[in-house]
Structure 1
């Protein structure tokens, strides 16, 4: 595969800690440019990618002829605007989640993608991790019998009002930050879309959800999940079947929160454990994007997939 040359639009902490190093480490990828007006923010990127150019404004980054793909880690409310600008500049786009603030925004982005003929996707890294690909396969082969219920939890504590997760105008709140995981993961693993929203409640403060609890009905199984940005860290997903329970102990921040594992627990008290150590899902995401861009390989999380999760989120917001 030929090299995909990447530019990063904005020097966010997440780009510095996770995606910048992932692009640098990925096979078939090269981090060639960063858009930021801050030399201080650019310096730590240049420490691991010394040949990287720095553009002082985003427009110059998008007009750089040496860039094939743009990674966008901007605040949530800017995702669609700058993704469309990047597509119009002839660049493929990998944009952080949530890619849009609502389904109407994602529809605009889908239209821009189709008009450009370029690859544009949400950076939903978990679908590239072998833990989730294995969970999907186990459900398809009936490893737990007929699926009857899914429940998921994702929480962490953040009361820093200077953080964009706590700023309504930047698209903050728990649902947009981590709700995409508890909702999208169930859809990815089961291949199903919800039939209806059964209930939703949320604790709101200054325009953002600090806690949200929701239930949906799917064909053949029920679903319950909660998210919080004011609770102790927790993440897990359980698929409860007629014959066994499949649990993912570290479903979202694999290798960071804990080691990624799949446990299948059966009525005879036997437990099968599969472990996935030393896997960097951000690197896998970059490599998958490169294969799709350069070789036309299918990409595991399309904008339409992201829209399905956003449709669930829109229903929850409308109900609380």
Structure 2
């Protein structure tokens, strides 16, 4: 396959430290340029990572006819505006999560992508990791029995007022930043959409962000997702998928270390000390590289795009409903 030539808009940490290094190693991916509103910063990052070209504006990168696809890791409030610009410039877009601040805002991308004849996908790299493919297989194969509960926790501690995650007016906060992961993985494992949600939020009085959000999502067939996410608690992440016969635990569900094997634990509950736990080891990989490879293959028409704008809108509808439920104190339909 001829490599897809990529441009990166922004020198955001997630791109520079995680996504770009992975994509530089990915098959069918060529990072051709990077842009920043600070030209010196763009040159510095380009030199450090071995990227051929750098630009001092996003518009200059988007005008480069060599660039076929764009990775957008900008702050949340810029996801839709810059993705629309990229589509108008004839580029495919891999956009960081959450793809928008509301489902209605995300809906703008549907017509824009159709008009441009280009693909857009939300950067939920976890769906490409073998551990999540295996977790879904276990849940849907009957190995765990009838699966009706997924329990997730995803937290970190960050009180830096200069960090975009702590800026309420540009889409900061726990639910947007990391609460979206328990939602998307539950949808992935259940293979269904939730019908209603309830939620409780503790708002930071200074940042105006949700620093602790707990939520319950009801899926068809009496299945539940229960999760908590926070930006000011000890770092922790875990996921348990419970069925009538056994449970599966994804040990490092969201930030799986690249280049290291990952593990799933399967427990039939017959010994509460865990003596009968069976451990499955999944091969080492980099989920960001896999994401870049799969999307590049879709751009070349060599693989289907499993998760397009429609999927991103569905995830945003759940987030919208959770914010609404926390405000109303009632169940809210998705």
TM-score normalized by the length of structure 2: 0.91
- Distance (Å, rounded) in 1 between the aligned partners of 2:261 and 2:218: 30
Q: 1:247 aligns with which of 228, 236, 249?
A: 249
| Cα drift, residue 77 of structure 1 | 0.2
Corresponding residue for 2:24? 24
- Distance (Å, rounded) in 1 between the aligned partners of 2:309 and 2:121: 6
Corresponding residue for 2:295? 289
| Cα drift, residue 297 of structure 1 | 1.0
Q: Which has the larger displacement, 266-275 or 30-39?
A: 266-275
Corresponding residue for 2:95? 95
Corresponding residue for 1:262? 264
Corresponding residue for 2:85? 85
- Distance (Å, rounded) in 2 between the aligned partners of 1:39 and 1:277: 39
Map residues 36-185 of structure 1 onto 2, 5 A cutoff: 36=36, 37-50=38-51, 52-185=52-185
1:7 lines up with 2:7 in the alignment? yes
Corresponding residue for 2:330? none
CA contact (8 A) 2:42 2:54 kept: no
Corresponding residue for 2:199? 200
- Partner secondary structure for residue 148 of structure 2: strand
- Distance (Å, rounded) in 1 between the aligned partners of 2:67 and 2:122: 19
- Distance (Å, rounded) in 2 between the aligned partners of 1:40 and 1:243: 54
CA contact (8 A) 2:194 2:218 kept: yes
Shift of the 41–35 alpha-carbon distance from structure 1 to 2, 3 Å rule, reads closer
User: After the TM superposition, which parts of structure 1 deviate over 4 Å for at least 4 consecutive aligned residues?
Assistant: none
- Distance (Å, rounded) in 1 between the aligned partners of 2:145 and 2:220: 15
Q: Structure 2 stretches of 5 or more lacking a match?
A: 327-334
- Distance (Å, rounded) in 2 between the aligned partners of 1:148 and 1:54: 49
- Distance (Å, rounded) in 2 between the aligned partners of 1:263 and 1:45: 41
- Partner secondary structure for residue 323 of structure 2: helix
Q: Structure 1 stretches of 5 or more lacking a match?
A: none
Q: 1:271 aligns with which of 258, 277, 287?
A: 277
TM-score normalized by the length of structure 1: 0.95
- Distance (Å, rounded) in 1 between the aligned partners of 2:102 and 2:313: 8
CA contact (8 A) 1:145 1:244 kept: yes
Corresponding residue for 1:302? 308
Question: For each residue in 1:88-116, what CA deviation from the matched residue of structure 2 results, as whole angstroms up to 9, or x when unmatched?
Answer: 10000001110111000111112211221
- Distance (Å, rounded) in 1 between the aligned partners of 2:184 and 2:17: 24
- Distance (Å, rounded) in 2 between the aligned partners of 1:29 and 1:267: 44
CA contact (8 A) 2:131 2:264 kept: yes
CA contact (8 A) 1:124 1:301 kept: no
